[in-house]
Amino acid sequence: MARRLLLSYLIVIGVTVALLALIVQLATSQTFSRYLSDQAAAHSEMLPVMLAGYHTAHGTWDGVQPNIDQASILIGAQITLADAQGHIVAASRRELIGQTASNDLGSTIPVVGSGGAPIGAIYVGRSVAQQRADAAFLSDVTRALLIAGLAVALLAAGLGVLLARSISQPLAEMSRAADRMSEGDYAVRVLLRGQGEVAALARAFNQMAESMGSVEGLRRDLVANVSHDLRTPLTVIRGYLEGLRSGQIADRRSAEMAFEAMHAEVTRLLRLVDDLRLVAALDAGGPRLERRPVAVTDLVSEAVSRIEPVAAAKGISVLNQTVTDLPQVNVDAGRMGQVLFNLLDNAVRHTPSGGTITVRAAYAPGSKGNQAHVWLAVQDNGEGIPAEHLSRVFERFYRADRARGEGGAGLGLAIARAIVEAHGGQISAQSDGVPGHGSTFTIRLFL
C-alpha cells in the first residue's frame, strides 16, 4: 500500500511541477516578446519623425548614414533605411546598402514626407549579439525553472514519503494485528499516533479488540459454567440410575428418594435450558411481551410465595414490605414475575442461614428531570458483591458468583435486565462488598 500511495504522490507531483514549469516558461517567453514589441513601438515613434525631417531638409537620402549609425547606437538595434522604391540607402550593416529590402531585416516602420506621401521605410531588427543574448536569457530562465522544479519535486517527494509512511505504517500494523486476532489473540493492540482519522481508526480497532476479548472470555465462561451445570445433575442422575439398575436401591423409600432427587436435577436442567432458550430469544430481538395492567402487590406476593419454601429450608426469612396502595403497572406479569423470582433466588443463594431478605415497593412521583415510576427493591444481608464485580453483574454469562460462591451459568441477572429494559424500565445493583451488609437490586418501572 505504501508503494502505491507513494507512486500516486510522485505522479501527482511530477505532473503538477511539469505543468507549472511549462506555464511559467510560456508566460516568460510571451512577456519577453511583448517587451521587445514595446521597444519596437517606442522606436516607431522616434525614428520616422527624425528621418522624415532629414529628408525634408535635404530633399534626398544622401548623407543619412551617420544619422542611422547614431540611431543604431542610441536604441541598441540594427537599423536599415530603404527609399520609396525599396532600395536600401543606409544601414547599420553597410554590406546591405544597394540591396532590396525585405521583411527579414526586422520590424517595418514607414516614413512619410510632409505631403503625406511615403518616402521610405525603416527596418528595426535585433543584432546577432542581441539575438544571442535573448536566446541565452530564455535558456537561463528555462534552466532555472528546471532546477527549481526538480528541487520542489524532490522536496515534495520527501514529504510524500513521510506522509505515505504515516498513513501506511499504522494501517500495516492494524493489518498484522487483525491477522493475530483472526488466530485468537484478542490481547493485541495498536499504537495510537496523532489525532487524525488514522488515530481514530486505531482507537476503534483497539475498542473492537477489547470487546471481542471480552466476548471470548464470556464465551469461555459460558462453556465452562454450562458444562459444569450440565455435568453435576447428569452425574447425580447417572448415579441413581446405576443404583437402581444394580439393585443397591431396592426398598421403596430409597427408590422414592432417588426419583425425587432425579426429578429435582431434571428440573434444574430444564431451567438451564429455558435460560439458554431465553438468551437466544434476546439475541433475536428480545422477548415477546404480553403486557396488561398488573397490581405490584400481586407480582411481589406471588414471587415471595414461590421463594419462601426455598428460603425456609435454608433458614432465611423473607419480609414483604410492599406498600399496598401502589398504582398498577403495564407489564408482562409472567416475565416480570420471573425477574423478581430470579432476584429473590439470587438473594437466597448468597444469604447465609439466619439471614433476612426484604422486598420493598413504593411509588416515586415525577419531578424535574425524573419521570413518575414504581420501584421494587430486593435487599439481603449476605456477603455482598465485591466492587470489582459490581459493574459487571448484569453482563451476560458473567458470574459474579465466582467471588460469592457457587451459582448458575451467569444468565439470571442478564435475563432480568433484558426483561426490565424491554419494559422500558431500569434495574441496578448496590453493594459495598462488606460481608453481612449484603446487596440491593432495584427495579424502576416508569408509568
pTM: 0.52
Q: What was the pLDDT predicted at 129? A: 62
Q: Give residues with Cβ within 8 angstroms of 446, minimum separation 6.
A: 371, 372, 373, 424, 425
Q: What was the pLDDT predicted at 406? A: 42
Q: What DSSP designation does 125 have?
A: E
Please name which of 404, 374, 373, 411 lies closest in space to residue 388, comparing C-alpha atoms: 404
**Apex 59 CA angle, 55 and 64, nearest 5:** 45
Topology adopted by domain 292-446 = Heat Shock Protein 90 (3.30.565)
Boundaries of every domain in the chain: 2-131, 197-283, 292-446
Superfamily for domain range 2-131: PAS domain (3.30.450.20)
Q: What was the pLDDT predicted at 9? A: 67
98, 61 Cβ separation under 8 angstroms: no
Helices (H), 322-383: 333-349
Q: What was the pLDDT predicted at 442? A: 94
Q: What was the pLDDT predicted at 300? A: 92
**Apex 14 CA angle, 8 and 16, nearest 5:** 100
Q: CATH says 197-283 is which class?
A: mainly alpha
The rounded distance, in Å, linking the Cα atoms of 294 and 374 is 12
Q: How many CB atoms lie within 10 A of CB 296?
A: 23
90, 55 Cβ separation under 8 angstroms: no
The rounded distance, in Å, linking the Cα atoms of 398 and 380 is 21
Give 10-residue mean pLDDT values along the chain (447 residues): 64 76 77 67 71 85 87 79 89 87 82 84 74 74 80 78 73 82 81 75 84 78 74 84 82 84 84 78 71 91 90 91 88 89 88 91 82 91 83 71 47 83 89 83 91
- What is the H or E stretch that residue 277 is in? helix 252-283
Looking up cell 547606437 gives: 73
405, 387 Cβ separation under 8 angstroms: no
Beta strands 356-364 and 317-322 are parallel
The rounded distance, in Å, linking the Cα atoms of 71 and 49 is 12
113, 52 Cβ separation under 8 angstroms: yes
Q: What was the pLDDT predicted at 408? A: 53
381, 356 Cβ separation under 8 angstroms: yes
Map residue 270 onto helix, strand or coil.
helix
Q: What was the pLDDT predicted at 402? A: 47
**Apex 357 CA angle, 352 and 359, nearest 5:** 165
User: Which residues are registered as beta bridge partners of 292?
Assistant: 331
Q: Give residues with Cβ within 8 angstroms of 291, minimum separation 6.
A: 330, 331, 332, 423
Q: What was the pLDDT predicted at 403? A: 39
CA dihedral 401, 407, 408, 410 (to 10 degrees): -10
